Amino acid sequence: MVDAFDASRYWQLSEMVSLRDEEFGALAYHHVNRRLVFLKSRELVDVVRRLGDYESANEALGAIVAPDQHDRYVAALATLQKAALINGR
């Protein structure tokens, strides 16, 4: 069972996941659960790729996205966590 998404914690792109850039954003494929997920904006792809460079998801979002977009991205990351695309340490 995975923990609920907590934006104050550290998160990173799972090692099991490959990202392939596309015009609309990216395709993400989880090699173990075989799930294919569509990331529908370049910004979200950027956030997901760089997430692991920051101490917490909040810090990553503070550095990468506009403040008024923060909540939207937290929701998106929570969805990605449910799909096991991102994980904690």
Partner 1 sequence: MGAESSLRNRFERGLAAPICLTWELTYACNLACTHCLSSSGRRDPRELTTAEAKALIDEIAAMQIFYVNVGGGEPMIRRDFFELVEHAVNQHVGVKFSTNGTRIDRDAAKRLAGIDYLDIQISIDGVDALTSDRIRGAGSYDAARRAMDNLRDADFGQFKISVVMTKENVEQLDDFEVLAKSYGAELRLTRLRPSGRGVEVWNELHPTLEQNRGLYRWLLERPNVLTGDSFFHLSALGSPLEGLNLCGAGRVVCLIDPVGDVYACPFVIHDEFLAGNVRDAGFASVWTNSELFRSLREPGSAGACASCGSFDACRGGCMAAKFFTGLEMSDPDPECVFGHGEAALAAKRVLIRPISSADHSRKVPVTLSAR
Positions in the binding site for partner 1 (CB under 8 A)? 18, 20-24, 27, 29, 31, 34, 36, 38, 40
Structure token digits, residue 4: 């609920």
Q: Which is nearer to partner 1, 40 or 72 (CB)?
A: 40
- Closest contact distance (angstroms) between CB of 9 and partner 1 is 28
- Closest contact distance (angstroms) between CB of 30 and partner 1 is 9
16-to-28, 29, 34, 60, 74 alpha-carbon distances in Å:
10, 8, 10, 21, 21
Q: Which is nearer to partner 1, 27 or 78 (CB)?
A: 27
